[in-house]
């Protein structure tokens, strides 16, 4: 290793796990990915990963892979971007160069399980300096549908910036801070792109799409329209710009593992004006592309800057 390499290795930031029991495992089976440390050479497969993008739907993450491959000039006309987790239907995973794209399903439990295995995967693969971004959809609070929200803080349904995990019957409170410099970089990218409105604000993370998000159109509802409006107005006063179901555990787990993390969600509707997703499929589809476009621009800019520095 020459002194330049040694210097950069010293500055590089690893992915952390905090679990002494892992060392005792002969093999670590990443069951929901259908991958393992004995059956796969994770360092060969994933060691070059620098960006991880996660989103709810497998279809959307495949579309993101195709999009980013074209943006980075890394399309492979011979290959259909195989799903790396093909042995399971739990999550889908695709890779193009240094960009990994993984689906996480809906809600905190689903994304938490995926993140445990993803963080271990990045750790076993000895990845360094990884940036992770959730690209998703949300309900807006007082925003024009189609606005993109870069999350400042993920807050719980009482508007507190925290995530509660019950471990051995005891509630452990975890911090939900996200990387503020990454959020600023993304906002700067949006200025340069100049294609759609993007704001920075708090994101409320709930356990449910209906009662948990004060909707009036679930199977059960025990509150009035006035109660709903009062609650959403209070959320807005607390700086909440949008509502979704994954950001709190995402922020908490990424912080624990030393990953530079951001949440970028488009709003599909304004919850101050309604509950149902009534826009046409085409309109919703075009909104869903916005986080992909912004994050794709950011990744390309970072890779171009690194290539210029290295040359």
Q: Which residues are at the interface with ligand URA (CB under 6 A)?
A: 137-139, 209, 213, 243-245, 268
Are the beta carbons of 209 and 108 closer than 8 angstroms?
Answer: no
Residues contacting residue 49 through CB under 8 Å, at least 6 positions apart: 95, 98, 99, 100, 122, 125, 127, 130
Q: Which two tokens stand for residue 54?
A: 């996660």
Closest to 257 measured CA to CA, from 11, 6, 17: 17
Residue 213 beta carbon to ligand URA: minimum distance, rounded to whole angstroms: 6
138 vs 248 by CB, closer to ligand URA: 138
Q: Which is nearer to ligand URA, 114 or 268 (CB)?
A: 268
Q: How far is the CB of 291 from ligand URA (least distance, A)?
A: 12
Q: Is 78 annotated as a binding residue?
A: no
Residue 136 annotated as binding?
yes
What is the Cα–Cα distance from 54 to 208, expressed in whole angstroms? 19
Q: Could you tell me which of 110, 129, 148, 111 has the C-alpha nearest to residue 289? A: 148
CA distance 123 to 47: 9
The answer on whether 60 is annotated among ligand-binding residues is no
CB 170, min distance to ligand URA, A? 28
Report in angstroms how near the CB of residue 297 gets to ligand URA at its nearest: 23
Contact 253, 170 (CB under 8 A): no
Residue 142 counted as an annotated binding residue = no
DSSP state of 235: H
CB of 139 to ligand URA, least distance (A): 3
Quick one: 2 or 282, whose CB is closer to ligand URA?
A: 282
Give the CA distances from residue 281 to residues 69, 129, 284, 285, in Å, rounded to whole numbers and listed in that order. 25, 37, 5, 6
Nearer to ligand URA, 276 or 311 (CB): 276
State which residue, 212 or 258, has the beta carbon closest to ligand URA: 212
- Residues at the binding site for substrate are 213, 215
Binding site, residues? 90, 134-137, 213, 215
Which residue ranges are tagged as binding site for phosphate? 90, 134-137
């Amino acid at each position: 290793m020459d002194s330049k390499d040694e210097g950069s290795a010293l500055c590089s930031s690893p992915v952390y796990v905090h679990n002494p029991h892992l060392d005792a495992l002969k093999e670590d089976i990443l069951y929901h990915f259908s991958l393992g440390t004995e059956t796969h050479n994770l360092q060969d497969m994933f060691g070059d990963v620098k960006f991880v993008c996660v989103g709810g739907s497998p279809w959307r993450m495949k579309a993101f892979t195709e999009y980013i491959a074209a943006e980075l000039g890394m399309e492979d006309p011979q290959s259909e971007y195989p799903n790396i987790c093909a042995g399971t239907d739990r999550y889908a995973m695709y890779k193009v160069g240094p960009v990994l794209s993984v689906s996480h399903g809906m809600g905190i439990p689903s994304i938490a399980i995926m993140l445990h295995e993803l963080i271990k995967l990045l750790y076993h693969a000895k990845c360094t300096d990884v940036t992770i971004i959730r690209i998703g959809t949300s309900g807006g609070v007082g925003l024009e549908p189609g606005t993109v929200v870069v999350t400042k803080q993920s807050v719980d349904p009482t508007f507190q910036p925290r995530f509660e995990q019950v471990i051995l019957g005891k509630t452990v409170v975890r911090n939900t801070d996200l990387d503020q410099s990454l959020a600023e970089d993304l906002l700067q990218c949006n200025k340069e792109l100049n294609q759609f409105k993007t704001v920075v604000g708090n994101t409320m993370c709930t356990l449910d799409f209906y009662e948990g998000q004060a909707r009036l159109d679930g199977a059960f509802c025990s509150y009035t329209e006035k109660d709903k409006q009062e609650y959403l107005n209070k959320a807005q006063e607390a700086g909440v710009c949008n509502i979704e179901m994954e950001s709190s555990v995402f922020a908490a787990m990424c912080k624990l593992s030393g990953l530079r993390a951001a949440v970028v969600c488009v709003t599909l509707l304004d919850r101050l004006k309604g509950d149902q997703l009534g826009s046409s499929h085409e309109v919703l589809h075009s909104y869903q592309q916005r986080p992909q476009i912004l994050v794709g621009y950011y990744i390309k800019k970072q890779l171009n800057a690194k290539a210029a520095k290295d040359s």
